[in-house]
Amino acid sequence: MLSRVLSYFSKKNLVGLDIGSGAIKLVQFNQTKRGYLLQKFGVLPIDPELIVDGAVMDASQVVSAIRELFAQQSVRTKNVALSVSGHSVIVKKISLPLMTEEELQESIKWEAEQFIPFDINDVNIDFHILPTPDAQREEGQMPVLLVAVKKDKLTEYMNLVIEAGLNPVIGDVDSFALENTYLLNYDVNGGETVALVNIGASVMNISILKGGVFSFTRDISTGGKQYNEALQREVDLSFDQAERAKRAEAIEGVDTHQVNDIIQRLNSELVAEVLRSFDYFKTTSPNETIDRILISGGSSKLPELMTLISERIEIPTERVNPFSRVEIPPDQFDMDMINEMAPQAAVAVGLALRRPGDRWYE
């Protein structure tokens, strides 16, 4: 669907462009015989008013920011893979009667209708038939990953890219981009269940994979901006001061204890959200246990958040390194910048792995 709809362009090279509500990120790879070589990587924070709860409030400023980032990184490639997330995206694992890919292609719209809370004509739909366990096959059923993305949301994001003078060639979903980043950088252990938790500015994407295969995903409307809002409201800080306070910088005339209390309270609420999603996952997959949590996103850098997640959830927790299997030419990149910004690159890396003509889930 998304990528099929958008894959008019045949040039091989493309840029992964993650238009987040906190920052715009771009990643470009050069695919060599040895693997992926990092060609471009840039992060440009944007004004918090430009994209609010996933809605683009000031398109022309977002377009300027995209142009600025491309110019800053001297990117000449015009083909772009972009992604959307949040309320306008539905990703579900459903069970359907056994049929071939071609048969499902014919009937997916009709089959999908009951699972999608939007008018079926307002969404782009795609599917992927997942590996079918024997027990399910014997019952004449198969698991299917169903994806629906609101057309207006996709059009809105595509238009930003077009207005910036670029060609949107792939439309993806944040959680799939994150899965691809994981699959590039980590060895998949057949029996292992891994939770990917990406904590951005307004959205937290949680995806659970078993043996590298999709099991569950959910986007939750929470993230780093809530910390800014609380600090602005309760300590009377500006957005920029709140941004500095979140990085454990002392702000003149501001009680550090009060700031820390607020950050810790919000950290607790965020961990409770993660736990709620894990509990929900367990109700849908009662025999599964999560073995490992991999965290990404700019807000994973919040003081003590990672420690709190591993303590409260009691599952080994580590930060994703989206470049762990990417060659980075040290003469072209500042490694301190890469290490600092890597948590924010997770979605853009997954997008940069796409090739024109790909389906969204391969």
Ligand X SMILES: Nc1ncnc2c1ncn2[C@@H]1O[C@H](COP(=O)(O)OP(=O)(O)OP(=O)(O)O)[C@@H](O)[C@H]1O
96 or 266: CB nearest ligand X: 266
Structure tokens at 184: 């590039």
Stretch binding ligand X (CB under 6 A), from 31-39, 113-121, 295-303, 331-339: 295-303
Stretch binding ligand X (CB under 6 A), from 165-173, 268-276, 294-302, 326-334: 294-302
Q: Does 302 bind ligand X (CB under 6 A)?
A: yes
Structure tokens at 94: 């459903």
Kindly report the three-state secondary structure assignment for every residue of 187-235: CCCCCCEEEEEEECCCCEEEEEEECCEEEEEEEECCCHHHHHHHHHHHH
Helix (H) or strand (E) holding 167: strand 167-173
Sign of the four-CA dihedral 249, 253, 256, 261: negative
3-state secondary structure of 124: strand
Q: Does 143 bind ligand X (CB under 6 A)?
A: no
Of 20, 86, 343, 356, the one binding Mg ion (CB under 5 A) is 20
21 or 215: CB nearest ligand X: 21
Question: Any residues with CB less than 8 A from the CB of 84 and at least 6 apart, and which?
Answer: 54, 149, 153, 154, 157, 171, 172, 173, 174
Of 361, 343, 362, 348, residue with least CA distance to 81: 348
To the nearest 10 degrees (0 to 180), the angle between helices 256-284 and 305-313 is 40
Of 224, 322, 350, 356, the one binding ligand X (CB under 6 A) is 224
Of 16, 200, 322, 343, the one binding Mg ion (CB under 5 A) is 200
Of 15, 23, 220, 308, the one binding ligand X (CB under 6 A) is 23
Of 78, 153, 246, 354, the one binding ligand X (CB under 6 A) is 246
3-state secondary structure of 171: strand
Of 167, 216, 133, residue with least CA distance to 11: 167
Which partner, ligand X, Mg ion, none, binds residue 215 by CB below 5 to 8 Å per kind? none
Stretch binding ligand X (CB under 6 A), from 56-64, 113-121, 134-142, 243-251: 243-251
Q: Tell me how many residues contact ligand X (CB under 6 A).
A: 21
Of 326, 331, 327, 309, residue with least CA distance to 318: 309
Q: How many CB atoms lie within 10 A of CB 68?
A: 15
Footprint (CB under 6 A) of ligand X, residues 157-216: 200-203
Output the residue with the shortest Cβ distance to Mg ion: 200
Tell me the closest approach of the beta carbon of residue 204 to ligand X, in angstroms.
8
Tell me the closest approach of the beta carbon of residue 362 to Mg ion, in angstroms.
22
Q: Does 299 bind ligand X (CB under 6 A)?
A: yes
* DSSP-assigned beta bridge partners for residue 126: 147
Which residues of the chain form contacts with Mg ion (CB under 5 A)?
A: 20, 200
Which residues of the chain form contacts with ligand X (CB under 6 A)?
A: 18, 20-23, 200-203, 223-225, 243, 246-247, 297-299, 301-302, 344
